[in-house]
Amino acid sequence: MASFRGIFKVADASGNCIQYRVDDIVYVNGEAFIAEREPDLCKSPAHKFSGWKPLTNESSGTSVTFYNSEAPPARVVQGDEWFNPVTGKLYKYISDTDSEQWVQIF
């Protein structure tokens, strides 16, 4: 099961290397990435971005746009994600045949 880890970081505030797991989701410059394998960030700088693949909008094949704000964004498309930092909840924008809404992922 995927686990949202927030903004991508190599080390924590104490300088300790962060270990990510398969299916961890992180955001870099507003784009979502998922770990295909366990990236070894402490091994060398060259490994920083290896093992990650961009999440894509399944219906269009475009990258998922990530929003980090207290209020839901207004101009969104199917598959976009919104993280509310106040509640700590992550949502995905879903559009089906008769409705459009933010659905809580966790």
The 10s digit of each residue's pLDDT in 59-69 is: 556 667 888 88
**Within this chain, do residues 27 and 69 fall inside the same structural domain, yes or no?**
no
Assigned token pair, 99 = 């409705």
* DSSP codes joined into one string, 45-76: GGGSSTTEEE-B-TTT-PBPBEEESSS--SS-
**Within this chain, do residues 104 and 79 fall inside the same structural domain, yes or no?**
yes
**Within this chain, do residues 3 and 31 fall inside the same structural domain, yes or no?**
yes
Tell me if residue 80 falls in helix, strand or coil: coil
Q: Which domain holds residue 45?
A: 1-55
pLDDT of the residue at 102: 92
Torsion 22-26-29-31 (CA) sign: positive
Range of weakest confidence among 24-38, 54-68, 73-87, 91-105: 54-68
Q: How many residues does the chain have?
A: 106
**Within this chain, do residues 42 and 70 fall inside the same structural domain, yes or no?**
no
**Within this chain, do residues 4 and 49 fall inside the same structural domain, yes or no?**
yes
**Within this chain, do residues 49 and 6 fall inside the same structural domain, yes or no?**
yes
**Are 85 and 68 spatial neighbours (Cβ–Cβ below 8 Å)?**
yes
**Within this chain, do residues 12 and 61 fall inside the same structural domain, yes or no?**
no
pTM of the model as a whole: 0.55
pLDDT in tens, 32-65: 788 888 766 676 555 566 778 887 655 556 667 8
